[in-house]
Structure 1
Amino acid sequence: MTHSHTQPSGLSTHRGEYKVPGGKLVAVELGENVGDGVHIDGDFFIDGVDDPTAVVALIEQVLSAGSGFAAMEAVAREFPEAQCVGLTAQALDKAMARARGQQVESAQAAADTTSEESVDELSFTWNTVDVAVLADQTPHTPAEHMALDEVLAQQVADGQRGPTLRFWQWGGNAVIIGLHQSVRNEVDEQRARELNFSVVRRITGGGAMFVEPGNTITYSLYVPADFLQGVRGFEAYKRCDEWALLALNKLGIRARYKPINDITSPAGKIGGAAQRLVRGSTGCVLHHVTMAYDIDAVRMIQVLRISREKLADKAVQSAAKRVDPLKSQTNLSRDELCSALQSQALEMLPSAHLSELDEVTLEQARQLAREKFESFAWTHAIA
């Protein structure tokens, strides 16, 4: 099967996409003129480095004159600590070939054989962290939530704050795009405005999150970098979500971990995670998860642009049908379930205790939201 990608109107036709089977989407865009360079985007992750965009810049530089293999070799040489998750040399080469107009086979649709993993107990490492559970019931704007993540993660990285678990209260509809994603290829911005959805870019990789406050449960975990010592790739995501998987199952919700970064049920995807290393005296791993409590599939497909390539290796050719909201497995309301998860965290995590956001942190986040996350330049850093 040959796959062609239909661009939103007005976009460059020199774009090629390729989805790593069972993994992530990688896209390559070529400029109209020689010398315009190569640009990549997608819902992949680059973990283990404090500036993933520097890794992307190196890949683009090498790819403009070489191959995907050469680009990934350069990454291994210049950023030996970088963990490229869902981003491979083969995917870069195939996306580049498509951008040049060559025919490239897509991965065949098939039953998903990626194994799901249950969690029966917490890893011993959880005994080494004294987690403060933030009981913040104040709704914040999407940009403020992105800023809070950055501020809190930096505080933990600098040793100014201990390990922290924060449950979010969303203050409005939003599409939250990943650090490496292209706005115009992921979101119909005009329709988003019409439906009162703000579009915000986060500081972690991964795919776009469709957020409606009453239908979404989100939490962030901020832990010292050594919490993941000796753990890489998929296992890092699983470890950070162990408590949530245990909590959901205790609440009667069948939830499993599915590589690369998903929380799933037997019927489909519940949510997805993303994470990033933040440098400092102790360092911090920021890990956040968004789960669908319910979903308005009609609005989602109006606002999000789901490329056919993204579904090319899926047996179920519909983004909406692949989601299994939490509501399908519980009679608890969204707020009741969020409170129950918070209670489970306090009960389950060793030395966990309630805490509150201080006003200084909140003001820092508000300022960062205004200066960075609400800005056109940040959101459209990859147009």
Structure 2
Amino acid sequence: MQAQAGALAGIKVLDLSRILGGPLCGQILGDHGADVLKVEPPQGDDTRAWGPPFRDGVASYYFGLNRNKRIQFLDLSTAEGQQRVRELMAQSDVVVENFKVGTMEKWGIGYEQMREALPHLIWCRVTGFGSDGPLGALPGYDAAVQAMAGLMSINGDADGDPLRVGLPVVDMVTGMNAALGVLLALHERTRSGLGQLVDAALYDSGLSLLHPHAANWFMSGKVPVRTGNAHPNIYPYDVIHTGGAPIFLAVGNDRQFRLLCDYIGQPALAEDARFVTAGQRSVHRAALKPLLTQAFARRDGQELADALMAIGVPAAPVLDVAQALEHPHTAHREMVVTMPGGYRGLGTPVKLSRTPASYRHAPLSEGVDFLPD
């Protein structure tokens, strides 16, 4: 795609982070026009080795998080590397880092050490648990935070073990929250002229994902349990097997349920006292699911999902990753990006009408300094 100015054109970001949360934040900012220079240690970001698959010795994991950045390799444990980073900070609007708490301070380039000299600088710190408190400064990892934040306890089959969500959801949401915090700080700086610290912790982000389970517990005092694919508050909001591929039904109100029942030739279900309201359907889900499964048993899943969507009943076939990425609507929404050199990656989900995202630098492209003003 041809380069666009972007909503963040003119903003200079120094990305000192590695692994996932920080690099994703930097990629989001870069996609929307910021000039992002990523500093990696001489051996490179750890995720360069997180494969297979690999291309030219670099893992796909790294490719997925480091688009629209130029790379500089520096050893920040040396006086020369520290001086170079000070110079780069002076040119920057935003710093993103996720070092272990105290590391940058040990090197003399921490937030408190730099903010007097660079009062305009927005400093985004991504940590596991924050810098203080009972767990402060401890290292944090996505799966461990999923466990501690209660996410694993409500994920998985009702009669199974607690289950990690099958993607690094805490790391990714932390990266998004970090980017959101940077944008808030940039907006506030237009009034005050001052930067500030953006504190994005995996632990906080993990807890923030607990809706509606936290809301349920606050009101009822009942500890949420695993419900498999089913929603804890709504039914039918679940995977239902068919004569072909399974589908996911997401029936959120009484009207949708009546439309469903009419379509499958079971209008009496919508009048059954056990199922007539959303609350009753949720209470009596164990009775409702086998009735729906029986009604779907001779139907093709894809055709059924398409037909239900057409009449206003939310439903979808359960696709694998390849099917999802090759879906015509994925292409229509520009959610797969291709760039010279064989790069393919996920597009940005944030679409702006006047200042759209652009894809200018494939991962691994290198540069020495920021673009000139």
TM-score, with structure 1 as normaliser? 0.23
Larger radius of gyration: 2
Is the strand fraction higher in 1 or 2?
1
